[in-house]
Chain A
Amino acid sequence: MTIIENNPELMAEDRNDEENYEGAQTPLRRFLSDFCEARLAVFGFFIILVIALVAIMAPFIAPTDPYNLATVSILDSRLEPGEAMMSGTIAYLGTDGAGRDMVSAMIYGLRISLGVGIGSGIIAMLIGISFGLLSAYAGGKIDSVFMRIVDIQLSFPAILVALVLLVTLGKGVDKTIIALVVVQWAYYARTIRGTALVERRREYIESAVCLGLSKNRIMFRHLLPNCLAPMIVVGTMQIAHAISLEATLSFLGLGMPQTEPSLGRLISNGFEYILSGKYWISVYPGIALLITIVSINLVGDRLRDVLNPRLQK
């Protein structure tokens, strides 16, 4: 085994050769064409784009500001879909028990759900990656200690840990994100450690070690890029998971404050009225939540298929 043969740059060249052989595709193109083979996933991706756009543009799109107590009035409460509010704005999906226009409340709610889901996902991923990589690369005692922590963390139901945390931390976006990061980082750490353990025995890492590169450089410049595929898949799934977890916590009355309801909180508020026939307070946010999570999962499923070398034709 020579150092030259295992040089990652040379490996890259090899791969390029392979691709040239398959028909002059860049990896990105191949990935895209693979991904687009599944229509449903493309559809899911499209929906996510729309939802994200709506969420980002919320203050410009929403007919009213549902979080501004000065403009929301209980005199508008529980209007049926299509009725006009005092301000003259038509509540196309009705209003909730506090007099918030459901359309606006859902748009802002989506913003919170997506923000919390993606925000906590990214932070948890960064933390998980750092711990997982270090664990895999260092091995030995560090690995044991980290992985036992991960074991302990994973042995508790996520909802339980999040509940306890939120009860102690209080309410708010930041606190919800902290709670969700704490519950999620272990998944990322465990996943990347598994991949990294396989990768670090590869020759290119050995060669990098022999070249005397620093540990950090090896870990983040050589090991990490080769472990990213499963992270993308886990990340997508975890974001969907985080969104539903946030909704669950809000449904239970934790997470977001009462005057800034997320989708879960809206569903929970409407639950009180559902027996008396005021279905719209629960049902519409429920549908919005369902569509969001299903879309993300569709994309995540497809990503898993595309990025998993074993499933490739």
Chain B
Amino acid sequence: MRALRQIGLAALGVAALSGPLHAADIVIGVRSEPSSIDPYFHNLGPNNGMLGQIFDRLNDWTPGMDKMFGRAASSWKPINDTTWEFKIKKGIKFHDGSDLTADDVIFSYERAGNYTGGNSSFRTYTKGKTLKKIDDYTVHIMTEKPYPLMPNDTTTVMIMSSEAKGTGGKNKGISAKDFNNGTAAIGSGPYKFIEWKKGDRIVLEKFDGYTGPIAQPWDKITFKFIKSEPARVAALMAGDVDAIDNVPTSDVERLKQNPKLSLSSGVSNRVIYLHMDQFRDSSPFVTTKDGQPMNKNPLRNPKVRKALSMMINRKAIVERVMEGIAIPAGQLLPEGFFGRSNKLQVEKFDPKGAKKLLQEAGWGDGFGLTIHGPNDRYINDAKICEAIGQMFSAQGIPTKVVTMPKNVFFKRASKGAKGGLPEFSFVLVGWGSGTGESSSPIKSLLATHDKSKGMGASNRGRHSDPRVNEVLNQALATVDDAKRGALLAKATEIAIGENTGIIPLHYQVNTWATRKGLKFDPRADERTTGYDYTLVK
């Protein structure tokens, strides 16, 4: 309402004074709060979305992730097989008035790559890369092998001011706390950080010195964190907020009919899938039918994994759990993204075929299973787990369902067992490709787990096939786009088509809602960025 009034006032101002058009304020109710203002503390969706408004990156994506554009970089090109040259735009100012130069870029990549004490790092994007300053506005990034995906990788690491002052200690003497209270939160993005009241709100203000490609439609953007789904919807309907993200699927139909609201939704690049323990002979949550531990692990048999995939009625999940707002998945990325396979189809629901396959594999009598999943991370995550539990149980695999908050879940799912191994046997997770193509999920989810090479970092089932590694490595070093795309498709076909290394379920479709008069272009990276909201007449 306040925003409306200000629009009215602004219109008056324009009419009377012919002065500059004053944009209004906007209040956005969002589900997830970032875990820090430090841009390298946590490589997490809500953080990357929020902080990308404060900090520039060298490159960034349009909302549909179909086009890359330079934010701090004016141009980039490979100058030889192993070196990329990035030219930095001149005249970019940080929020404290200083200039953004090559020094800041190098400082940022160093701090990001060597960050300690964070929740999950950006090392996947910085490992094996050396940055060199040529002059104030030119940086060379060198790799050991040809690396065509360099521009994609530069859409991830944010650039902070090298002159930011902290209270000392590791991470270049600047701690996450220094960012959270605002002293070190100096970026060059279109919006300045004003304050963060934990659990309540983050306030951003338009940066007048911004000259970049991103529009600044608002003077002030307030993000209110409303975790509860019905409460967020209620806040929008009551006019407490101008817009919300993550509209619960159960409310979409009804809100669409509300003339005071407008909704927009788009397919995200996030696939929801299942990891299966393929590295332990005795997996803790794979049991006999009556719950006794076993010294054999059926999940190591690709036929069993395939059978499980065939037991899942994806159509029922999409229709009944997601209320039609999701797209059944057969691989890592939805249509339109780079590096997909044209051959892989969505696995058909086939109880008879699954039964037969289980018998062939010697597991015709079935076994017991526990599915673990988060209950506050993905759209309807806990309900999906329960639906899968139902489907398996009805087809001779008695399944228990255990869901927990994401803070607990991810720690245990990644390294909860002895020796830092994944604790669970069968987990539901999601993956959104930050680089907009399929190499990053193959690298993280399906390549053989190897910390030293930065491979299989999130491979919680430890799927491992030398053929996949080989084709992937070949793809990563292939400069020709078409050839690389074909290699990535081949790696996906082996890992998912032949091995069923993971079971893809569906691609998320995200829905945003605003009051009438506002518009939001749905973002494939699921980010709720204030500057993407525009006024419509």
Contacts and interface: CB of A to CB of B under 8 A. Distances in A.
Interface of A: 68-75, 77-78, 97-99, 171, 253, 257-259, 271-278
B58 interface: no
6 contacts: A97-B321, A98-B390, A258-B375, A271-B230, A275-B233, A275-B250
Contacts of A77: 320-321
A275 B254 contact: yes
A71 B248 CA distance: 27
B386 A276 contact: no
A73 B254 contact: no
Nearest to B228: A271
B393 A69 contact: yes
A275 B401 contact: no
Contacts of A258: 375, 382, 385-386, 401-403
Interface of B: 229-230, 233-234, 248, 250-251, 253-254, 316-317, 320-321, 375, 382-383, 385-387, 389-390, 392-394, 398-403, 405
Given A98-B383, A259-B386, A70 B398 contact: yes
Contacts of B389: 69, 259
Given A75-B316, A77-B320, A98 B253 contact: no
A99 B375 CA distance: 18
A71 B382 CA distance: 19
A257 B229 CA distance: 21
B402 A276 contact: no
B250 A74 contact: no
A75 B320 contact: yes
Given A74-B321, A97-B383, A277-B254, A272 B400 contact: no
A273 B320 contact: no
Given A75-B320, A272-B248, A69 B229 contact: no
Contacts of A98: 383, 386-387, 390
A248 to B, nearest CB: 15
Nearest to A76: B320
Given A77-B320, A253-B375, A275-B234, 11 more contacts: A69-B393, A74-B316, A74-B386, A75-B316, A98-B386, A253-B405, A258-B385, A258-B402, A271-B230, A272-B250, A274-B230
The 5 closest A-B pairs by CB, nearest first: A69-B393, A70-B393, A74-B320, A74-B387, A70-B394
Contacts of A75: 316, 320
Contacts of B317: 74
Contacts of B251: 275-276
Given A74-B317, A258-B382, A259-B400, A275 B390 contact: no
A48 to B, nearest CB: 32
A257 B320 contact: no
Contacts of B230: 271-272, 274-275
A69 B250 contact: no
B401 A259 contact: yes
Contacts of A70: 390, 393-394, 398
A69 B402 contact: no
A77 B249 CA distance: 14
Contacts of A273: 250
Contacts of B387: 74, 98
Contacts of B250: 97, 272-273, 275-276, 278
Nearest to B385: A258
B368 to A, nearest CB: 12
B401 A171 contact: no
A256 B279 CA distance: 31
A247 B351 CA distance: 38
B414 to A, nearest CB: 19
Contacts of A272: 229-230, 248, 250
B318 to A, nearest CB: 11
Contacts of A276: 250-251, 253-254
Which among A75, A271, A272 has the highest number of chain B CB atoms within 10 Å?
Answer: A272
Nearest to A274: B230
A297 to B, nearest CB: 29
Which among B254, B321, B387, B402 has the highest number of chain A CB atoms within 10 Å?
Answer: B387
Contacts of B375: 253, 258
A78 B392 CA distance: 21
Contacts of A78: 320
A97 to B, nearest CB: 6
